[in-house]
């Protein structure tokens, strides 16, 4: 619907309330005119709600070699801008090994916070008790001590098979961009879909051939390229704007470096199976640090 039709619909549908109509119209105009920075137009299509996910807000993270502010924010469900502001990290947002990144108030420590999604119910610890008896020489008395060992299961990988459905073909020749500016990152079978449950799939999985090209889904800057995030294998994260980032996991080989500018459709990696049980691409889109369903942004098949 064009702006002229919208204006006529509002004015006709609200007789006797010209002020209310004007306010509604001005809100629509502002919404239509706003675009993200970096010249990349990425918006929510069809008014779909953004998946809510609460970031970790306790503890701190000890920065390791090869990590970036973007990768840490990605791991713990934060918007990178908010994480930088919370830790008073100024542009260009450089962090160093040994630095503490805080997620809440309290003294710093060298202990990393848990990487499990906060929306996942806490696993039930499995405790086992062992009893040891010691005897002191010359004394008939014995002392008994009990040691309790607690085992906590690891969280599932981001591409958990429980989130998969029947394979669905995706475009064999990615390149066409949706109205919101996104393109398919690879051709193949869609074998895993987005799940709103934080413990399941935070994106989609596309099956393909070993070495198959992985393409940038939109214009942007590579802010992470490495294997430091558990469960993603060889991973690339691209910043598209102050609002959106995309992630490409399980690659065999990375073809771009951090800080490199990329265009939609550019080959950035070779598909592989690092950190996975088969050859596939794990693809995510995050809006302000929160995972959203990529199928709501990509061109319809």
DSSP, collapsed to helix, strand or coil, labels residue 86 as: helix
Taking all residues of the chain, what is their mean pLDDT, rounded to a whole number?
73
Lowest mean pLDDT among 70-74, 114-118, 156-160: 114-118
Cα separation, 186 vs 113, whole angstroms = 34
Tell me, what's the pLDDT at 196?
A: 74
Tens-place pLDDT, residues 67-108: 888 889 888 888 888 899 999 999 888 899 999 999 987 544
Cα separation, 204 vs 283, whole angstroms = 5
pLDDT band at 291 (very low <50, low <70, confident <90, very high): very high
DSSP at 122 = P
Q: 3-13 and 18-33 are packed helices; what angle lies between their axes, rounded to 10 degrees?
A: 160
| Confidence check: pLDDT of 4 > 60 | no
| Confidence check: pLDDT of 296 > 80 | yes
Tell me, what's the pLDDT at 54?
A: 66
| Element holding 286 (H helix, E strand) | strand 280-287
Tens-place pLDDT, residues 235-244: 999 999 999 9
| Confidence check: pLDDT of 155 > 90 | no
Tell me, what's the pLDDT at 264?
A: 94
Give the mean pLDDT of 170-178: 67
DSSP, collapsed to helix, strand or coil, labels residue 130 as: strand
DSSP, collapsed to helix, strand or coil, labels residue 72 as: helix
Among the listed residues 19, 69, 21, the one whose alpha carbon sits nearest the alpha carbon of residue 289: 69
| Element holding 217 (H helix, E strand) | none
Q: Is the pTM of this model over 0.75?
A: no
Among the listed residues 166, 161, 153, 184, the one whose alpha carbon sits nearest the alpha carbon of residue 278: 161
Highest mean pLDDT among 150-154, 175-179, 205-209: 205-209
Q: List, in order, residues 6 or more apart from 202 with CB less than 8 Å away.
A: 158, 194, 195, 284, 291
Lowest mean pLDDT among 3-7, 120-124, 209-213, 251-255: 120-124
| Higher-confidence position of 120 and 196 | 196
Tell me, what's the pLDDT at 28?
A: 40
| Confidence check: pLDDT of 138 > 90 | no
Q: Are 289 and 69 in contact (CB under 8 A)?
A: no
DSSP, collapsed to helix, strand or coil, labels residue 234 as: strand
DSSP, collapsed to helix, strand or coil, labels residue 295 as: helix
- CATH architecture of the domain covering 161-296: Distorted Sandwich (2.70)
Tell me, what's the pLDDT at 88?
A: 92
Give the mean pLDDT of 147-151: 39
Give the mean pLDDT of 248-277: 97
Tokens of 281: 């691409």
Give the mean pLDDT of 174-181: 75
Cα separation, 93 vs 111, whole angstroms = 22
Tell me, what's the pLDDT at 53?
A: 52
Q: How many CB atoms lie within 10 A of CB 153?
A: 10
| Confidence check: pLDDT of 58 > 60 | yes
| Residue ranges of domains in the chain | 161-296
């Amino acid at each position: 619907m064009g702006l002229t039709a919208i204006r006529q619909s509002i004015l006709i549908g609200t007789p006797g309330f010209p002020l209310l109509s004007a306010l509604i119209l001005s809100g629509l105009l502002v919404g239509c005119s706003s675009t993200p920075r970096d010249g990349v137009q990425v918006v929510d299509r069809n008014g779909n709600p953004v998946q809510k996910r609460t970031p970790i807000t306790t503890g701190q993270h000890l920065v390791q070699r090869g990590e970036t502010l973007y990768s840490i924010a990605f791991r713990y469900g934060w918007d990178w801008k908010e994480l930088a502001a919370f830790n008073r990290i100024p542009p260009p947002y450089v962090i160093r090994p040994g630095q503490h990144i805080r997620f809440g108030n309290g003294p710093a420590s060298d202990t990393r916070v848990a990487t499990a999604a906060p929306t996942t119910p806490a696993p039930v610890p499995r405790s086992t008790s062992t009893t040891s008896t010691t005897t002191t020489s010359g004394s008939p008395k014995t002392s008994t001590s009990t040691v309790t060992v607690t085992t906590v299961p690891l969280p599932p990988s981001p591409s958990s098979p429980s989130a998969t459905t029947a394979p669905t073909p995706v475009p064999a020749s990615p390149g066409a961009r949706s109205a919101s500016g996104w393109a398919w990152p690879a051709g193949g079978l869609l074998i895993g879909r987005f799940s709103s449950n934080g413990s399941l799939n935070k994106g989609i999985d596309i099956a393909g051939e070993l070495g198959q090209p992985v393409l940038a889904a939109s214009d942007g800057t590579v802010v992470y390229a490495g294997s430091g995030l558990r469960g993603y294998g060889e991973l690339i994260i691209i910043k598209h704007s102050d609002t959106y980032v995309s992630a490409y996991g399980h690659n065999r080989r990375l073809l771009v470096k951090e800080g490199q500018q990329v265009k939609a459709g550019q080959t950035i990696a070779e598909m592989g199976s690092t950190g996975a049980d088969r050859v596939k691409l794990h693809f995510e889109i995050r809006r302000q640090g929160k995972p959203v369903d990529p199928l709501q942004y990509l061109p319809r098949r």
